[in-house]
Structure 1
């Protein structure tokens, strides 16, 4: 029988706790987004568009890590509700640039207020300093994962990411 070494490994594993917390957050988020006619993927799209001030449709697909066909359906939903517009790119008339409308900005702001209440509910046992620490650690983990995946893709590795 081969023994596995656990030297230098953390005593606690975070994956299950992160998954449990994410499920709580997701369920509550979905319940406050639904009355606004939004789903989490809509919210992410609107947030990206606000941050980038508009985005070519293909670049948006890459940013969202979604298949182009699925992004078209997503954008159709948002456009039907008047939350985004697809405009011809002035640089290349064959391409579309997706922009957040004024209505989209207002709906996004309402969604963010509703989600702040959800976050307060789910993370209510943490004080402000602890929340900032948690945010910083999660951001560090996300950024570290992106770097590792980029490096792995560049190395033609076995797809461990």
Structure 2
């Protein structure tokens, strides 16, 4: 099939996203992880802890989807919820030691997929593409 006939940014971005997700699913499966866990894993790894609402906002994932993902992550021993000391009605979500141990490996796997995706392209291409996609996302929001 000739994919050049799909000269649509939306189609092409969606196609690439599915390919990235498929590759991530393949490499994460042996670790017992799924690509759906990555936004929460990377965010919590970076900030240390966050509420469900904060994770939802930062990752641009709808609240019901985030709630389901967090329940699965808790079931899989990747996150824990602790009561917020300042506001007892809120729960702070944190990575478990198991998840923290997995993060360097997850980061390396993601880096490898990104390197494979950009193989043969100019050195500046990944940064340029990221900047363009971020601006495109801002335009669409």
Measured against the shorter chain, the TM-score band is 0.7 to 0.9
- TM-score, normalised to structure 1, is 0.70
Cα deviation 1:122-153 (Å, max 9, x = unaligned):
32223xxx24x22322332244245435xxxx
Alpha carbons of 1:22 and 1:73: their partners in 2 closer, same or farther (altered >3 Å)?
A: closer
Cα deviation 1:73-127 (Å, max 9, x = unaligned):
211111122211111111110111111222112222212222233233332223x
2:129 is the counterpart of 1:138: yes
- TM-score, normalised to structure 2, is 0.78
Provide the secondary structure at the position in 1 that maps to 2:72.
helix
Provide the secondary structure at the position in 2 that maps to 1:98.
strand
2:88 is the counterpart of 1:97: no
Q: For 2:54 and 2:44, how far apart are their aligned partners in 1?
A: 11
Q: For 2:15 and 2:108, how far apart are their aligned partners in 1?
A: 23
Cα deviation 1:29-68 (Å, max 9, x = unaligned):
1111111121112012100111122111211122222232
Instruction: Map residues 80-119 of structure 1 onto 2, 5 A cutoff.
Output: 80-119=75-114
Q: For 1:148 and 1:83, how far apart are their aligned partners in 2?
A: 34
Alpha carbons of 1:17 and 1:68: their partners in 2 closer, same or farther (altered >3 Å)?
A: closer
Aligned length: 134
User: Which segments of 5 or more consecutive residues in structure 2 lack a partner in the other structure?
Assistant: 1-6
2:45 corresponds in structure 1 to 50
Provide the secondary structure at the position in 2 that maps to 1:55.
coil
Q: For 2:118 and 2:53, how far apart are their aligned partners in 1?
A: 36
Aligned-residue RMSD, C-alpha: 2.3
User: Which segments of 5 or more consecutive residues in structure 1 lack a partner in the other structure?
Assistant: 1-12, 150-160
